[in-house]
Amino acid sequence: MYEIFGICPQLENLSRKCDKELKERFEKIDEIAQINQLKVIAAMQKNHVSEACFAVSTGYGYGDLGRDTLEAVYADVFQTEDALVRPQITCGTHALGIALAANLRPGDEMLSATGQPYDTLEEVIGIRPSEGSLADYGITYRQVELTNDGHIDIKALLEAIEPKTKLIEFQRSRGYRTRPTLGVQEIGQAIRAVHEKYPKVICMVDNCYGEFIELEEPSQYGADMVVGSLIKNPGGGLAPAGGYIAGTKECVERCAHRLTTPGIGKEAGANFGVMQNLYFGFFVAPMVAASAEKSAIYAARIFEEFGYETFPHSSEIRHDIIQEITLGSREAMISFSKGVQAGAAVDAYVTPEPSEQPGYNCDIIMADGCFIQGSSIELSCDGPLREPFNIYFQGGITFTHGKLGVLKAAQSMIDDGLIKLNEINISNK
């Protein structure tokens, strides 16, 4: 079958070697996935998920059993008091924007505990001037840099807190930056340290790409809100759109009033018939996240064989599904993306081109031959075309597909003369 996909025999041999080497590692990932799978099933049983939950609601969507039950299921899995899980939340940035705008008031300050936040949040916060940003509403912002080795500087964080500091953001995943993804325990420790001294400061975690990779979520360590996108891990590849905010009753209620409008809050919001997909996606999400994690490790392993620098290294413990590979040139990023796209089940015949993207300040290249537009829990890659030319590979609903994407990316670079096979020692056994 690999021959049909144009994978050369040397690359196939290399792939077999990696399969063997990664076997034990993958078994550990399966163990975590199994426990998380049971957590989701238990929450669904406890909340009496039934066929009635899949019914379509329209108009105001009052008394929507499916919507309300799904929010209870999310709250149980994240072990929070409440959750807001809606198709009306456009994407992860929107979910984060709601959580911030809902919980901050003019004169308040937002503090980032993890340095520069994700690119699209720069306009939400007003780091890059933007219409309707938090800065526009008189909300100030500061950030505490990570330590030199990329970890939370708890001492500096505690010292940075002032009376007007109302909310602290922790970003779990690396975004488009070279720094370690933070583990739940590390974030949890920092949150506990903040809450010990400042119990009223809201701790919010940008949980994008981290869900179900570990046995616990940051909310289990006292995060007041964990926030993410349904076209990443928790949507399991089946959610057609949406975002979630899980957290304390107070915080989630404020978010609901911001998402809809004061006075309406969680009470309204039709589901347009997406409920079955949201449940089905959340149900498979632990297994899907595990497939994506394996695909990420595979990408790292294969490209390390070709001498590329990878973050994290294939041997490191992971806290998210993103694999960063330093490809070092614009041509390599384009070639890699072309390969990933050619491995897709949808739109495999098109060629990705660099282009502008709303919310980003430079050209982006992106391969996403996806069932859900822009879904990054599906096999995909992207990256800003700027130094040091890092590609971010992610997704793979099934590991088989993730692996094909990795091999197609490598083959594309071989075919374009960017990787020279004869320089690499690949055994034929």
Ligand X SMILES: *Cc1c(COP(=O)(O)O)cnc(C)c1O
Binding site for ligand X (CB under 6 A): 91-93, 118, 120, 171, 173, 175, 206, 208-209, 229
Nearer to ligand X, 14 or 235 (CB): 235
Nearer to ligand X, 173 or 337 (CB): 173
Helix (H), strand (E) at residue 390: strand 390-394
Q: How far is CA 291 from the centre of its chain?
A: 14
CB of residue 360 to ligand X, shortest distance in Å: 10
CB of residue 173 to ligand X, shortest distance in Å: 4
CB of residue 121 to ligand X, shortest distance in Å: 7
To 5 degrees, how large is the angle CA 128–CA 129–CA 134? 95
Nearer to ligand X, 92 or 339 (CB): 92
CB of residue 323 to ligand X, shortest distance in Å: 13
CB of residue 50 to ligand X, shortest distance in Å: 30
To 5 degrees, how large is the angle CA 396–CA 397–CA 399? 60
Query: Does residue 296 contact residue 91 with C-beta atoms inside 8 Å?
Result: no
CB of residue 60 to ligand X, shortest distance in Å: 27
For residue 365, the one-letter residue type is: I
CB of residue 221 to ligand X, shortest distance in Å: 18
Nearer to ligand X, 229 or 411 (CB): 229
- CA dist., res. 133 & res. 222, Å (int): 27
Q: Is 345 helix (H, G, I), strand (E, B) or coil?
A: coil
How are strands ordered across the β-sheet holding 243-247?
A: 82-86, 243-247, 225-229, 202-206, 165-171, 109-112, 140-143
Burial label, 259 (beta-carbon count in 10 A; 0-12, 13-18, 19+): buried
Nearer to ligand X, 224 or 305 (CB): 224
Nearer to ligand X, 242 or 342 (CB): 242
Nearer to ligand X, 93 or 337 (CB): 93
Query: In the complex, which residue's CB is closest to ligand X?
Result: 92
Beta bridge partners of residue 264, listed in sequence order: none
β-strand 243-247 against 364-367: which pairing, if any? Answer: unpaired
Nearer to ligand X, 47 or 114 (CB): 114
Nearer to ligand X, 92 or 265 (CB): 92
CB of residue 17 to ligand X, shortest distance in Å: 31
Nearer to ligand X, 235 or 335 (CB): 235
CB of residue 353 to ligand X, shortest distance in Å: 20
Tell me the residue length of the chain.
429
Query: Does residue 230 contact residue 91 with C-beta atoms inside 8 Å?
Result: no
- CA dist., res. 411 & res. 418, Å (int): 10
Burial letters 273-290, b for 16+ CB under 10 A, else e: ebbbbbbbbbbbbbbbbb
Pick from 314, 318, 409: nearest CA to 369: 409
Prior bond of 388 cis (ω within 30°): yes
CB of residue 6 to ligand X, shortest distance in Å: 31
Query: Does residue 281 contact residue 234 with C-beta atoms inside 8 Å?
Result: yes
Burial letters 137-157, b for 16+ CB under 10 A, else e: eebbbebbebeeebebbbeeb
β-strand 380-384 against 390-394: which pairing, if any? Answer: antiparallel
